[in-house]
Structure 1
Amino acid sequence: MLHPVSSATVRLADTVFERMANAIIDESLAPGQRLRDGELAQSMGVSRMPVREALQRLERIGLVEMSPSRFTRVTIVTPEMAQGTLEFAGYYASSTIRMACLRMSTQQRTEATSAIDAIIADVKNHASPLAARRAFHRMILDIAANPFVDTISRDTDIALARNLQYVKLPLSDPNELVDSYEALSRALTAGDTDAAERIVRSQFAL
């Protein structure tokens, strides 16, 4: 279920958290599945302490629910939660693209448009653009260089990646998605902050 974790990891609980979060995202740990810290610790080759710490962190971002002395289980994403996540993701993405666009150097604009080209290529090749979109989002966060946003994004992005799997994204038509990202590329190249923010909002139907 979960591969062993190296005890040489500097922050073992962080590695356990990441491993468990990814297992929830890809449903290796299925929605509604009961979680037992002893079994999880054994499967990853660690003590119960980092597992318990990871479970508490997963609970804080809504991937796990815990009822003392009763159960710990993977949460089930309701339609209401998925829709609320989509709305939040739109405001989150559009605000970070605005911050990044205001601070981009010429080189960073080139790098950002190259990252968008990767998204477009995936869409045109009928491949999932999820990994390329997440890489682009990570780049935008780095360029935005806001310490507070960077701190909260570590856990927020995991919750978004999990919950957005359960909602249909507004731009589901491949041609519309390509057009949107091509427009975003032009806006970033021109340094048009308002246009970039508006385009990202439209991707989330805001």
Structure 2
Amino acid sequence: MPIPQNPPTRPRLLLRDDAYLALRAGIIDGTFAPGERLNDADLGRWLGVSRTPIREALGRLERAGLVQSKPGSYTRVSPLDVREARASQSVAAALHELVVREAVPNLSEGDLRSMREANRRFAEALDAHDAEAALSADDDFHAVTVTASANPVAATVLEQVTPVLRRLERIRFASLDGRGSITLHEQIIALCEAGDAAAAGRAAQENWQTLLPLVDLVDDADSRAGQAG
């Protein structure tokens, strides 16, 4: 897919983090397809920035498993890797269980309202078959407890592993019914409000374990493609 002609709806003067977020979003939402080559100059023109923040953003994306590079040869969007997806899912489930347990004593009424509002938007997006809006609302839901946990190490690791899972969800979104997550989100909110940190953490872990069938689905599809080849 060629570089889009129009820049994303962001301020023209993007900072380093903004370039990273814009490119990450482009990979997750399919603007940049698996295997597509990425050119620093083209991306810089698209985002209206110099090559330096582009290169820094691509380095972060490579560490997150979304980009591959060979010095002097290419930089390209990574293909979907089932093993990496399984590892990311396992880490995400364990860390969200941890951050929810740590967040419960710190959650305010405003935090709980934010979680309810994010889950409402999540449900509406699913009803509208809007995968992008659903993923954005889901991110907002989980961000509340990640922030309230005040655990910077967990937040850093989750930032690294989550994009792989979001990309998988976005590409295969129609393959799974995500409405079960609405009920799990409601359970998490209720347990957080009740102050039951252990049970809320278990519910959060269960929520992220619902991704396993999606990983299995991709694995099965890859296996069939390999046999056909």
TM-score normalised per structure 1: 0.80
Amino acid at match of 1:182: E
Match of 2:202 in 1: 198
- 1:123–1:33 Cα change, 3 Å: closer
Match of 1:161 in 2: 166
What SS is found at the alignment partner of 1:17? helix
Match of 2:50 in 1: 47
For 2:113 and 2:177, locate their aligned partners in 1 and report how far apart those are by CA, in whole Å: 26
For 1:53 and 1:16, locate their aligned partners in 2 and report how far apart those are by CA, in whole Å: 9
Is the 8 Å Cα contact of residues 29 and 171 (structure 2) preserved in structure 1?
Answer: no
Gaps of 5+ in 1: none
For 1:205 and 1:153, locate their aligned partners in 2 and report how far apart those are by CA, in whole Å: 15
Match of 1:186 in 2: 190
Is the 8 Å Cα contact of residues 118 and 137 (structure 2) preserved in structure 1?
Answer: yes
Deviation at 1:70, TM superposition (A): 1.8
Is the 8 Å Cα contact of residues 95 and 158 (structure 2) preserved in structure 1?
Answer: no
- 1:194–1:72 Cα change, 3 Å: same
- 1:115–1:24 Cα change, 3 Å: closer
Gaps of 5+ in 2: 211-229
Match of 1:31 in 2: 34
Is the 8 Å Cα contact of residues 63 and 159 (structure 1) preserved in structure 2?
Answer: yes
Match of 2:67 in 1: 64
For 1:125 and 1:7, locate their aligned partners in 2 and report how far apart those are by CA, in whole Å: 31
For 1:75 and 1:126, locate their aligned partners in 2 and report how far apart those are by CA, in whole Å: 26
Deviation at 1:96, TM superposition (A): 1.1
Q: Number of aligned residue pairs: give it.
A: 203
Is the 8 Å Cα contact of residues 191 and 200 (structure 2) preserved in structure 1?
Answer: yes
For 2:116 and 2:45, locate their aligned partners in 1 and report how far apart those are by CA, in whole Å: 44
> In the alignment, which of 76, 79, 94 is matched to residue 76 of structure 1?
79
TM-score normalised per structure 2: 0.73
Is the 8 Å Cα contact of residues 40 and 54 (structure 2) preserved in structure 1?
Answer: yes
186-195 or 128-137: which moved more?
128-137
What fraction of aligned residue pairs are identical, expressed as a percent? Answer: 28
- 1:20–1:98 Cα change, 3 Å: same
Deviation at 1:31, TM superposition (A): 0.7
> In the alignment, which of 132, 135, 157 is matched to residue 130 of structure 1?
135
Q: Deviations over 1:23-77 (max 9, x none)?
A: 1111211110112222222333332222222221211111111111221111011
Is the 8 Å Cα contact of residues 77 and 166 (structure 1) preserved in structure 2?
Answer: no
Query: Alpha carbon RMSD of aligned pairs, Å?
Result: 3.1
Is the 8 Å Cα contact of residues 104 and 195 (structure 2) preserved in structure 1?
Answer: yes
For 1:99 and 1:154, locate their aligned partners in 2 and report how far apart those are by CA, in whole Å: 18
Match of 2:215 in 1: none
For 2:162 and 2:20, locate their aligned partners in 1 and report how far apart those are by CA, in whole Å: 13
Deviation at 1:133, TM superposition (A): 1.2
